[in-house]
């Protein structure tokens, strides 16, 4: 294993929010999904479920349902900024929570399993790092998690195959970045927090 390559794929991963419509090659997508499936899981539960959405009509339905759901919600002082922005932008209309990416991967897990979100998070990070190694852009997408109890969206996810006892705990988008050279921006953000204590 080349440690430098693994390290570089991790530290140069950045969120991409502007994509070309070019589809992701099936082989590359399969590697990304495998990277997610091979993430660790609490007690080796392996209960993550991946919905790999490439059908643009499904993404369009989700965009509509997400916008409708957020439009009905109120904002309040001190609300988590990203959630507040999602609500306000939905009320304005035309809110594209997944930035026209060609692939949306939704990760679900058991509702009553204590590590559901942790297992989902490690899988998403694995997939985003693998995407970076493949010159693809990615971004975590949280709207479906915020709305994971919203009845209309839940019903829609049921039709896509989400079992009764599962909920969505995260999602990510993948695709070729709409940059001049088609490669992801790889300039790391300065670390301003994330303190470390060596003892
Ligand atoms: C739990 C979590 C939720 C996030 N949700 C969203 C989101 O819904 N939409 C979005 O554009 N970015 C989302 N992000 C991406 C962060 O905004 C991004 O990682 C952060 O600004 C640092 O930028 P970088 O990824 O380019 O290093 C999320 C990231 C995490 C870890």
Residue 142 CB–ligand 1 contact under 6 Å = yes
Please indicate, yes or no, if residue 12 is contained in any of the structural domains.
yes
| Residue of the CA atom closest to atom 28 of ligand 1 | 140
Q: Which token pair is 177?
A: 């970045």
Give the CATH number of the domain where residue 106 resides.
3.40.109.10
Tell me 185's DSSP state. Answer: P
pLDDT tens track for 29-53? 999 999 999 999 999 999 999 999 9
Helical residues (DSSP H) of 14-146, grouped into ranges: 26-37, 56-71, 81-92, 116-133, 143-146
Please indicate, yes or no, if residue 142 is contained in any of the structural domains.
yes
Please indicate, yes or no, if residue 198 is contained in any of the structural domains.
no
Ligand 1 nearest-atom number relative to CA 124: 31
Please indicate, yes or no, if residue 32 is contained in any of the structural domains.
yes
pLDDT tens track for 147-184? 999 999 999 999 999 999 999 999 999 999 999 999 99
| β-bridge partners, 172 | 105, 140
Q: How many domains does the chain have?
A: 1
Query: Which residues have C-beta within 8 Å of that of residue 88, sequence separation ≥ 6?
Result: 75
Please indicate, yes or no, if residue 194 is contained in any of the structural domains.
no
Nearest-angstrom CA–CA distance, 156 and 13: 32
Query: For residue 50, how many other CB atoms are within 10 A of its CB?
Result: 17
Please indicate, yes or no, if residue 62 is contained in any of the structural domains.
yes
Residue 139 CB–ligand 1 contact under 6 Å = yes
Nearest-angstrom CA–CA distance, 126 and 35: 6
| Residue of the CA atom closest to atom 18 of ligand 1 | 15
Please indicate, yes or no, if residue 92 is contained in any of the structural domains.
yes
Please indicate, yes or no, if residue 184 is contained in any of the structural domains.
no
Residue 189 CB–ligand 1 contact under 6 Å = yes
Range of the domain at 121: 8-41+50-175
Q: Which token pair is 118?
A: 């942790």
Name the pTM for this structure.
0.97
């Amino acid at each position: 294993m080349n440690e430098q390559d693994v390290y570089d794929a991790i530290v140069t991963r950045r969120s991409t929010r502007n994509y070309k419509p070019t589809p992701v090659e099936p082989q590359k997508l399969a590697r990304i999904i495998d990277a997610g499936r091979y993430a660790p899981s609490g007690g080796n539960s392996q209960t993550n479920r991946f919905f790999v959405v490439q059908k643009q009509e499904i993404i369009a339905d989700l965009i509509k349902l997400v916008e409708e759901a957020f439009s009905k919600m109120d904002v309040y002082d001190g609300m988590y900024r990203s959630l507040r922005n999602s609500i306000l932008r939905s009320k304005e209309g035309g809110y594209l929570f997944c930035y026209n990416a060609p692939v949306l991967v939704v990760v679900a897990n058991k509702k009553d399993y204590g590590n559901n979100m942790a297992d989902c998070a490690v899988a998403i990070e694995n997939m985003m790092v693998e995407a970076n190694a493949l010159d693809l852009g990615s971004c975590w997408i949280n709207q479906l998690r915020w709305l994971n109890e919203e009845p209309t969206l839940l019903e829609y996810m049921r039709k896509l195959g989400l079992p009764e006892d599962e909920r969505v705990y995260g999602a990510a988008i993948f695709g070729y970045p709409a940059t001049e050279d088609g490669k992801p921006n790889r300039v790391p953000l300065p670390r301003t927090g994330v303190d470390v204590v060596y003892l």
